[in-house]
Structures are given as structure tokens and as C-alpha cells.
Chains A and B, each alone.
Chain A
């Protein structure tokens, strides 16, 4: 009988240098070379690189510390534990856009789908050409390679691909559209299809099981359950942070020679603003991109059992140049039921088809930008879907519906409140001519970007090309806030590569930062 491997990295007792709310019995003052706010794709990567280089690193994370063994099939409990506000945060606009952020050690990498794509060449070319990031494509290349090695970016094992994804591919093939296997940060994903609720098998190489243990191994300390209230400062120089332990109210002060804000594109600008930092560019909190997503639900005659098989095994790339990507994304019944307008017996009849449903979604590279305002110290996102993006999303719904009918779907439910279901490709095409008010659209996202964008010109960018905040000292940003534009693909790998590059800048200038 084969012997199972005992996971060495992500199981077992809590590491000695991870501290939680239970470890605090009073206020505390800590010293470090670098304090990093946030432990997701940006923060954990930065922590690991700097700790290995010998910096004394403290990471503060608002969420709690969970391990792979804590990730169960209880969708609701996982949502409450791993998501900010249980996943119920919204950007205000018409329609409001529901967005999700991880709030746990490992950040949103714990709850994302694990898609690992480099920044597209056309995006990097634009950053180079228009935004003063000369040579960024060449510069990022080794960092992408390093990140891909660390988080094990690889194609899926074919045997783990579920029926819903195979049907998506079948439909794309039937339409003659370009469809590719997704690259994901995983080691033999076996298709538990629980990516969005914490990978229970340990296959997904989120920051929690890659960069976080690496950072800890090289001496970083992680304080979970600590919400950072503000960055302390002496004039324009950041000198540390002050935070509050969730649940106990104890204060934690960290004095550091470098402060890194890596709490995501919603919370990083709010942290900077409530700490009194301003950008001469006037762009802090502006330039919010969201990659708006909508989904359709297709009902087939055959059993699909979409929850058995890997998440988003394929991406339809036929319309990438037009800013649209399609993928199959199985959702647990509760999440799906929540999105339906049916109720009572009609809801029961619809949900009886759950096993025959394929949920497919699309990502739209948006042209609109929104804003994060800081109100009473808290961030509130405002985002108005552009007419052009709404038209693109509607076209995407039509195209995706055609694909699903080509794969054998008999009925398609739309993300437009009150819209009739579709029963044929002709029904889908007729949608194009219909005016569907956006206020009834169900739009969600998990990709927020751009609110502290980098660039050489301090009049146009919040940070320099290495994340150092213009017009401040010893203050760095290392998350998706840095993106000067939306990138049109899943952002995790870009965040990690940029964070690694920023870490390299700190190491290269260690003498200055440690003085």
C-alpha cells in the first residue's frame, strides 16, 4: 500500500513566529527593519524576499491565521472566516458591483482561482510607452520566472478536469474559438473545486502555503488579527504603524525603517490617506479598475456534477483583444441560489437541476475608472460601469451563451434581473438589440487595481516605478494598487512579480533603508 505524503509546509502546529489575538495580553511595541501591512500576493512575497535577504520583517494581517486543515466544505463558514465582510462589499454605482477580498493570512490568494498569468505584452508595452515605465517588460521577465517557480505555475492534470470545463471547451471548439488550458499555481490539483473557499487539499500554492512559510522560515514574524489604523510619520518619513488587535482592542505599535502597504487596491489608499499622506499627483485613490465580471448559468440534459473537477481549467481567449475572457466557474448551491430571482416552489424546481448546471463567467478589461474615497477613515469604492464596458459585457453574455448552446445547453439563465431565460442561440443573438437597463445587472469582481499607480512622473503617479511613494520617505506600496492600467488577465502573478521587483529595489538599496 502506498504511503501518503505528510505535508511538511502547511500543516501542523501554528509556527512559533505566527502570532494571533490569543497571544496578546496588553499593548505592545515592536521593532523591525520592515513592517508590511497585508499578507497577500504583494505582502507575503515581499516578506519572503526581504526575510531571506536578512531583513528583520514584521507582517501585520487584519484577518486570522488558518491552515489547510481548517478549510472545510462549509461554504458559509469559510466565507465568514476568509472574506472581508463575508464577501458582501460593494462598489457604489449603477449597477453596484459586489467585490470580494480575502481577509486572512495569505490574503486573496487563499480565495482566488489560482490563475497565474503574466502581464500581457500589449499591457506592458503601454506601460512602457505611455506611463514612463521604460523597459518594464524586459525588467519583469526574471521576476515572473522566479514567481512561477516559487508558486509552481503549471498546466492542469487532465484527469482532474471536470465535466463543466470539458463542456466549455467543447463549445469553444464547436464555435472555432481559441481556448487554452489555464496555468495555475498548483501541485497536482485534484479537483475539489473549493478554490474560492480555501483549498482543502493543499494543492493550490497560495501565499499561505508558499511565500508565507518561506517568510517564516527565514525569520519573518506574522501578526494576524491586527488591523493597522495608521502609518506613523515624522514629517514625510514613515516611521512605523499603529494597529489594533481584533477582538481584544490591544494596541500594537511597530517601529520600522521601511513601511510597506500591501493591503490591496481598496485599503492601501485608505491607509495612506488616513495617515495623512497625500500624492502631488492627486491620483491616490483614483484610477480604480475592477475587471467587471458577469456570469450565465446553463442547464444541460446530462449530469455534470460541476463541483467534482478543477476550477477554471480552460480560458476562452478568442476575444482577449476585445477585453473578454470566458471560463467555467462552479459555484456551490447556496451561492447560486442567491443569484436567482426565483423563489418558493420555482426556486426548488430550478435548484433541482443543480447537478445539470454549468456556470460560466467572463472577465472584462474595463475602460472606466472609479475611485476609493476614505470616509471616517474607512474606504468606500465608487465605480460607474462605462457604457462601452456594459456593451462589451452584454456582447460577452451573447457570445458565451452561443458557446454553451453549441456545447448542448438547453436553457440559459442571464445575469440581468427580470430578463427572460434563453432557449436557443437565436434568443441569445436577439439580446444584442435589446436595451437592458444596467441597474438590474448582477456584476461582481475580485480584481481591484490601480489606486496608487506607479510611474516615473510624480505629477501623474502615486509611486515611483519601484513602489516608493512620491513625496514621502520610507513608504512603499506593493500590491495591485500599483497597476497603472487594468491588465485584462488575472492579476496575482503580476502583483507577485512587481512585489519581488520592489523587494529587489530594497535589497539593492539596503544601506539607505537601514540607516
Chain B
């Protein structure tokens, strides 16, 4: 079995540097958690995707050297913004796809943080608990009836039942 994806040091550093570029300002303190969440998501995805993403991040990191004389991970503020924009509108599909992919994946991980969900008013757990309890109380008889129906005999073909000894 292939080993699950984990960020390389380069990937982690590049992504960490991109948190202020991609995420809203209020999410910046959550940067480490966002980057860690991205690793979980990549590990669950197709291995070709995570491998391609990792290679792309190395290219992104090194690609800053000619113009900025430093790696992308070391860029901050306006320079980091401009460098990312350069990839987003880059010369090849691969440039553009990587930049969009980073945006998508980081936005996903950003709004998976409980603080960010709460900030936009999304707090589903108490709601789920409330309606689950309501259903089992108010509709108790119907729930029981369906549970019984699921197991009740109802052969597809009347009179056909294959009797066999099972080991």
C-alpha cells in the first residue's frame, strides 16, 4: 500500500507562506491548522493528485528565485501576492491549475476550521442533535414501524426458499 501523503518541509513552508495570500485576514492565526488540514485532504485524494501537487509546490517555491532572488516561501506581503498572481495568470495550464488548486484546497481547509465556520454562522452539531432527538421522540412509532418493516419477511418470489445446510 502506498504511504499516505504528508507534507514535505518545502510544501509545508510554501503553503504556510500562502495563507495570508489565500485566506481572509481573520484566518491567518489559524495558518498551521489550515496547512495541516490540507495534508489530510491530500492524503484522502488520488495519489497522482497529491504527488503532482507536491511537485508543483517545489516548482512554485523555486520559480521565485530568478526574479526575487529568494524562494517563494520567503516572500511576504505585496511580493507574495504578485508572485501568486503571476502563477494564477501564468503562461501554461500547469501554472494556472496549480494556483487554482492551491486556492481551492486552502479555501476548503480554511473554512473547515471551527472558528471560521462559527464566524459565518455555521454551527451544525447542536442542530443535528436537536433534530435527531426530535425525530426519535415525535415520530417514535413511525420510526419503529419502519425498523420492523425492514426486517419483516417479504420474499421476492412466493414459495421459493432454498433450504440448505450452512457450514
Contact = CB atoms under 8 A, between A and B. Distances in A.
B110 interface: yes
Interface in A284-309: 305, 307-308
B107 to A, nearest CB: 4
A508 B124 CA distance: 48
Interface in B130-167: 131-144, 146-151, 153-157, 160-164, 166-167
Contacts of A8: 144, 147-148
Contacts of A79: 44
Interface stretch (A80-88, A426-434, A475-483): A80-88
Given A4-B140, A344-B21, A88 B124 contact: no
A112 to B, nearest CB: 18
Nearest to B104: A338
A55 B164 CA distance: 8
A503 B156 contact: yes
B131 A213 contact: no
- Indicate the size class of the contact surface on chain B: 35 or more
Nearest to A332: B122
A337 B157 contact: no
A89 B109 CA distance: 18
Interface stretch (B8-16, B23-31, B54-62, B64-72): B23-31
Interface in A238-267: 246-247, 249
A226 to B, nearest CB: 13
A41 to B, nearest CB: 16
A203 interface: yes
A192 B132 contact: yes
A447 interface: no
A249 B46 contact: no
Query: How would you classify the secondary structure of chain B's contact residues: helix, strand, loop or mixed?
Result: helix
Interface string B98-132: 00100111011111100011001110110110011
Given A49-B156, A333-B117, A76 B40 contact: yes
Given A347-B107, A355-B121, A190 B142 contact: no
A132 interface: no
A85 B46 contact: yes
Interface in A469-515: 500, 503-504, 507-508, 510, 514
A500 B136 contact: no
B94 interface: no
B46 A340 contact: no
B116 to A, nearest CB: 7
A201 B128 contact: yes
Contacts of B122: 307, 332-333, 354
A352 interface: yes
A190 B129 CA distance: 11
Contacts of B45: 85-86, 88
Nearest to A56: B166
Nearest to A150: B150
B166 A219 contact: yes
Contacts of A247: 1
A343 B107 contact: yes
B24 to A, nearest CB: 3
Most A-side CB within 10 Å, residue of B109, B121, B122? B122
Contacts of B105: 338
B22 interface: yes
Given A79-B44, A89-B46, 19 more contacts: A73-B128, A76-B109, A85-B44, A85-B49, A188-B135, A188-B138, A191-B131, A202-B135, A333-B111, A334-B108, A338-B111, A343-B107, A347-B107, A348-B26, A351-B24, A352-B120, A355-B121, A504-B156, A507-B157
19 contacts: A2-B137, A3-B137, A5-B140, A8-B147, A53-B162, A79-B44, A80-B40, A85-B44, A213-B150, A334-B107, A337-B107, A337-B111, A339-B104, A340-B107, A341-B100, A344-B22, A344-B25, A348-B26, A507-B160
The 8 A-B residue pairs whose C-beta atoms are closest, nearest first, are A348-B24, A86-B44, A54-B162, A5-B140, A190-B131, A354-B120, A4-B136, A80-B44
